[in-house]
Structure 1
């Protein structure tokens, strides 16, 4: 069974905004990755089909498959990890989640399902969807 990661997408308003940002990032660097300070210890479980689930505006809204975890050391000697991602971003059903620092492991039973219809709450105005989510109605 694969293991997933959950991470805040700081400064992103929508999954489409994340797609735009990553598209320009990929044009510059040739691939999509997220740099983090801590390297996941459970690398094999993550690379067995795991994804990174992005929290955007208080809810998990999309995910990307993790392709690799690359450790590296910067010029100052500090260790980091690049979470290399598949460029395809898959929308999920919005699932409320509070803010947190760094990343966390996310087991399959806690992951929201993919939004195969593409409907989700995207048809609702953001403020209305956020209010309904806060009330636990979506």
Structure 2
């Protein structure tokens, strides 16, 4: 069995209502649990400990493209509005842009292997992605990705 500690195990999840990594960065400042940014979901990953041990991230799908990731720093539970228990994926405030990659819609979250994850984009000294693509309108980025040009 390969050394799991050396290969990160990630999660991937769609974002509804968010149109860009910049908008997600704004949301991170608002959506807090005990002062920590989070992603709300229904179920606790069975491999949560492995995700934490391998320093996994949650990759975010925005408008049909994997566009960024956030390092996962923990998991917690909460009581949903319907009275059932839910899970909070506690994440870093840092939203790291990635090379855009198309992803079909799916429900909930999925495990995401490191070898399947897109690379991070380079950043300027200001922390903004300097890839020549980020400033393009989202519809154009989606179309370029569909054509295999991104």
The SS at the match of 1:17 is: helix
Query: 1:51-130 counterparts in 2 under 5 A?
Result: 51-74=57-80, 77-117=83-123, 118-120=129-131, 121-130=133-142
CA-CA distance at 1:24 after TM superposition = 2.1
Greater shift, 16-25 or 112-121, is seen at 112-121
When the two chains are superposed, the root-mean-square deviation of aligned CA atoms in Å is 1.8
CA displacement, residues 57-94 of structure 1 (integer Å, 9 cap, x when unaligned): 11110000111111344575412111011111111110
Could you say if the C-alpha distance between residues 74 and 17 of structure 1 is closer, same or farther in structure 2, counting changes exceeding 3 Å?
A: closer
Q: Name 2:3's counterpart in structure 1.
A: none
Distance in 1 between residues matched to 2:139 and 2:81, nearest whole Å: 43
Distance in 1 between residues matched to 2:18 and 2:120, nearest whole Å: 19
Q: Name 1:33's counterpart in structure 2.
A: 38
CA-CA distance at 1:107 after TM superposition = 0.3
Instruction: Give TM-score, length-normalised by structure 1.
Output: 0.90
Q: Can you give the 5+ residue segments of structure 1 that lack an aligned partner in the other structure?
A: none
Distance in 1 between residues matched to 2:73 and 2:81, nearest whole Å: 25
**Paired positions, count:** 137
Distance in 1 between residues matched to 2:107 and 2:48, nearest whole Å: 20
Mapped pair 1:14 → 2:20: yes
Q: Name 1:131's counterpart in structure 2.
A: 143
CA displacement, residues 97-135 of structure 1 (integer Å, 9 cap, x when unaligned): 111110000000000000014233213232222111111
Instruction: Give TM-score, length-normalised by structure 2.
Output: 0.83
